[in-house]
Structure formats: structure tokens, C-alpha cells
């Protein structure tokens, strides 16, 4: 305690005052001298005692802070009494609680990053391995020309798959970092659906599926046309892939004072109740997913829609079909 400069100064001042009073008291009767001496001793003793108690509390707080710096957030120093030390204890506890929350979030992010890197590696490994095998076969001079063309075409397909996968992962990482400036334009849903159908018309034609579109041309919402188109494309692709040849896909849209709604319904394989909670999870592939599925499309669609003040729900029965319902809520100023 006496190693602190302010305590030494206080002790010196009190001793000086006591000595001065004692010198003055020598000119008065002995009883006065004794009274001044006892008073000085008591006052100095009480001051040192209370100061020592105070510094013991400060030392405890210092030890608590050291434990915090080492990563231990379990101690609780909250104090409901009045006084500066109680305020300091409660403030330290609040800071500790915030640090504990941040530490938990960082740990969660670290696990998420590890899992994501593992999933990405797994997604890239399959097409890369396939291309390496086919490249070795193409290098064989005795390989028939028809087989060479087939392997070359398969390598091109795998390269296109890799290009789409890397592009999708970059887009997802941008959305996770809130680095995508979504526009707030008036999007006409009929034009959105028309634009989203263009990339999937060939697969629909090959599988001889029927597409029906129902909705008023005036239906619209505030959002980003390009990004929302990408979300709808992924959802229509999912419907096309999981609907049998000759199946039907129905797209409808409507609007009311609260929200603009779109539904995409198919009569395909459907999704089991056990899988429904996970279909929007990144890299998740259901039991009925094809070999070329990467588990990215629906995750991206979900991110794009939710980033634009929208929600997406799904209802499905095995062997009866699936319905995706998208709602963009209107912003009330």
C-alpha cells in the first residue's frame, strides 16, 4: 500500500500536521498534548485502515481483469451497493459480458469458416479428380477419336461446373460481408419471371415439362432485378431437376397492401419432412439430389431474398411435389 505515491504523500501530510499540533500543544498543559497525540494516532490509523481495505478491493479487481485477459469470463463481480468501487465493478462486469459474447461469436465464426473451407474443398475435389483422370486418358495416343471428343466434352462440362461454383461462392461471400449494394428499383414481377425462365427453357423442353404462369402485369415490388432474377433462376432450376419428364411447374404471383407474393409449385419428387429444415443450408444436398448438385443454389436464393426484406417458405410432400412461397414485404415509412 505504501508503495503508492498518493498514499505516501497523504501519510506524510498527516504526520506533519500531527507534529505541528504536538509542538503547539507543548505550550499548553500535558493533558492537551496527550489528547492531540491520541487523536492523531487514531485518525492516521483509521485513514490507513480504510485505505488498505480500498486497495485490497482494487487488487481483487486487478486479479479479475488479469483473468479476463487470459480468457476466463466466468467470474461475477457485480455489486449492488453504492460507491465508486461498486460502479467500477459493475462496469467491468458489463465489459466482461460483452467480451464473452464476442468470444463466443468469434469461436462460432471460426468453426463456420473451418466447415466452409472443408465443404468447398469437397466440392472442388470431385470435378478436379474427374478432369485429371480424363486428361490422362485424352493424352493416350491410342485413344479412339470418338472417346477423345467425349472426354473433352466432359472436361468442358466440369470446367463450367467449377466456374459456376466459384462464382456462386464469391457472390455468397459478398452477401455474407454485406458488400452487395442491393438496388431499390420497382421490379415488375412478370418481367422478372420472363427473364428468370430464359436459362432453363432448354432443360424444360428436353424433359417435356409444362410451365404455367399466373398473375397480373401490374404486380411489382421494391428490389434488385438482377439479383432477384438469380434467386428465381436457382429455384426454377431446382423445380426442373426434381420434376419428372412430362411434369408441370406452376408459377403465380400477386400483390396486396402488405407484401408481394410469388409461388413456384411443381409435382415432382418432393422433399421429406426430415430434410425440409436443412434445404436452405449451404452445401446441403438432399437424398434425391443429383450428382451434379452442389447445394449452393437454394442457399444463394435464400440469402438474396432475405437481404431484400423478403422471406421464403417451402411446403412439400414426398412424391406429391414442392411449393416455394416468396414474399417481399412493403416498407412502411
More confident residue, 302 or 125: 302
Q: Write out the three cell numbers for 210.
A: 409444362
Residue 129 sits in the same domain as residue 35: no
Residue 126 sits in the same domain as residue 76: no
DSSP letters spanning 37-78 = HHHHHHHHHHHHHHHHHHHHHHHHHHHHHHHHHTT-------
Q: Where residue 225 sits, what CATH number does that domain have?
A: 3.30.565.10
Q: What's residue 282's pLDDT?
A: 76
Closest CA to 321 of 204, 251, 239: 239
Q: What's residue 81's pLDDT?
A: 65
Q: Is the dihedral of CA 302, 304, 307, 312 positive or negative?
A: negative
Domain boundaries, position 247: 185-329
Give the span between the Cα atoms of 323 and 236, in whole angstroms. Answer: 11
Is the pLDDT score of 118 beyond 90?
no
Residue 220 sits in the same domain as residue 111: no
Which run of H or E residues covers position 186? strand 185-188
Residue 210 sits in the same domain as residue 323: yes
Closest CA to 263 of 274, 254, 273: 254
Q: How confident is the model at residue 251 (pLDDT cuts 50, 70, 90)?
A: very high
Angle between helices 84-138 and 30-69 (to 10 degrees): 20
Give the span between the Cα atoms of 41 and 39, in whole angstroms. Answer: 5
Residue 170 sits in the same domain as residue 195: no
Give the span between the Cα atoms of 315 and 308, in whole angstroms. Answer: 22
Q: Highest mean pLDDT: which of 57-71, 159-173, 278-292, 301-315?
A: 301-315
Q: Given 176, 198, 213, which residue is the final one in a domain? A: 176
Q: What's residue 128's pLDDT?
A: 77
Residue 108 sits in the same domain as residue 164: yes
Residue 193 sits in the same domain as residue 321: yes
Residue 199 sits in the same domain as residue 320: yes
Give the span between the Cα atoms of 228 and 192, in whole angstroms. Answer: 8
Which residues share a beta bridge with 317? 321
Q: Given 176, 205, 228, which residue is the final one in a domain? A: 176
Give the number of domains in the chain: 3
Is the pLDDT score of 67 beyond 80?
no
Give the span between the Cα atoms of 189 and 205, in whole angstroms. Answer: 23
Residue 78 sits in the same domain as residue 107: no
Q: What's residue 253's pLDDT?
A: 95
DSSP letters spanning 288-331 = T--TT--S-HHHHHHHHHHTTTEEEEEEEETTTEEEEEEEEEPP
Residue 126 sits in the same domain as residue 139: yes
Residue 143 sits in the same domain as residue 95: no
Q: Where residue 128 sits, what CATH number does that domain have?
A: 1.10.287.130
Residue 192 sits in the same domain as residue 318: yes
Per mean pLDDT, which range of 27-36, 97-106, 177-186 is the poorest?
27-36
The pTM for the full model equals 0.61
Which residues share a beta bridge with 326? 262, 312
Q: Given 69, 100, 131, which residue is the final one in a domain? A: 100
SS (H, E, C) 191-205: HHHHHHHHHHHHHHH
* Exposure string for 67-83, b = 16+ CB within 10 A, e = fewer: ebeeeeeeeebeeeeee
Per mean pLDDT, which range of 15-29, 226-240, 261-275 is the poorest?
15-29
Q: How confident is the model at residue 83 (pLDDT cuts 50, 70, 90)?
A: low
Q: How confident is the model at residue 290 (pLDDT cuts 50, 70, 90)?
A: low
Mean pLDDT of 11-33: 68
Is the pLDDT score of 333 beyond 50?
no
Mean pLDDT of 135-162: 80
DSSP letters spanning 208-241 = T-EEEEE--TT-EEEE-HHHHHHHHHHHHHHHHH
Dihedral Cα 248, 281, 312, 309, nearest 10 deg: -140
| DSSP helix/strand/coil, 127 | helix
Q: What's residue 324's pLDDT?
A: 93
Amino acid at each position: 500500500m505504501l508503495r503508492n505515491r498518493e498514499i505516501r504523500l497523504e501519510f506524510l501530510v498527516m504526520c506533519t500536521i500531527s507534529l505541528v499540533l504536538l509542538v503547539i500543544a507543548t505550550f499548553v498543559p500535558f493533558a492537551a498534548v496527550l489528547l492531540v497525540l491520541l487523536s492523531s494516532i487514531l485518525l492516521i490509523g483509521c485513514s490507513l485502515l480504510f485505505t488498505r481495505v480500498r486497495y485490497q478491493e482494487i487488487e481483487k479487481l486487478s486479479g479479475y481483469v488479469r483473468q479476463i485477459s487470459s480468457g476466463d469470463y466466468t467470474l461475477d463481480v457485480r455489486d449492488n451497493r453504492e460507491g465508486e468501487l461498486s460502479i467500477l465493478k459493475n462496469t467491468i462486469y458489463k465489459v466482461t459480458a460483452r467480451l464473452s459474447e464476442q468470444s463466443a461469436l468469434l469461436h462460432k465464426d471460426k468453426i463456420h469458416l473451418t466447415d466452409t473451407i472443408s465443404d468447398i474443398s469437397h466440392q472442388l475435389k470431385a470435378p478436379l479428380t474427374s478432369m485429371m483422370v480424363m486428361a490422362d486418358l485424352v493424352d493416350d495416343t491410342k485413344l479412339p477419336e470418338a472417346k477423345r471428343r467425349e472426354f473433352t466434352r466432359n472436361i468442358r462440362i466440369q470446367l463450367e461446373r467449377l466456374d459456376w461454383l466459384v462464382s456462386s461462392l464469391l457472390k455468397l461471400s459478398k452477401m455474407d460481408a454485406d458488400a452487395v449494394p442491393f438496388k431499390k428499383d420497382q421490379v415488375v414481377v412478370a418481367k422478372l419471371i420472363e427473364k428468370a425462365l430464359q436459362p432453363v427453357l432448354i432443360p424444360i423442353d428436353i424433359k417435356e415439362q409444362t410451365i404455367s404462369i399466373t398473375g397480373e402485369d401490374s404486380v411489382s415490388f421494391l428490389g434488385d432485378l438482377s439479383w432477384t432474377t438469380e434467386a428465381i433462376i436457382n429455384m426454377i432450376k431446382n423445380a426442373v431437376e426434381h420434376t419428372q419428364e412430362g411434369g408441370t411447374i406452376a408459377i403465380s404471383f400477386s400483390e396486396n397492401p402488405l407484401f408481394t407474393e410469388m409461388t413456384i409449385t411443381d409435382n415432382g419428387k418432393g422433399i421429406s419432412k426430415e430434410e425440409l429444415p436443412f434445404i436452405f443450408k449451404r452445401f446441403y444436398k438432399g437424398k434425391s439430389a443429383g450428382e451434379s448438385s452442389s447445394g449452393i443454389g437454394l442457399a444463394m436464393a435464400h440469402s438474396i431474398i432475405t437481404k431484400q426484406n423478403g422471406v421464403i417458405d417451402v411446403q412439400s410432400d414426398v412424391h406429391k411435389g414442392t411449393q416455394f412461397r416468396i414474399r417481399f414485404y412493403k416498407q412502411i415509412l
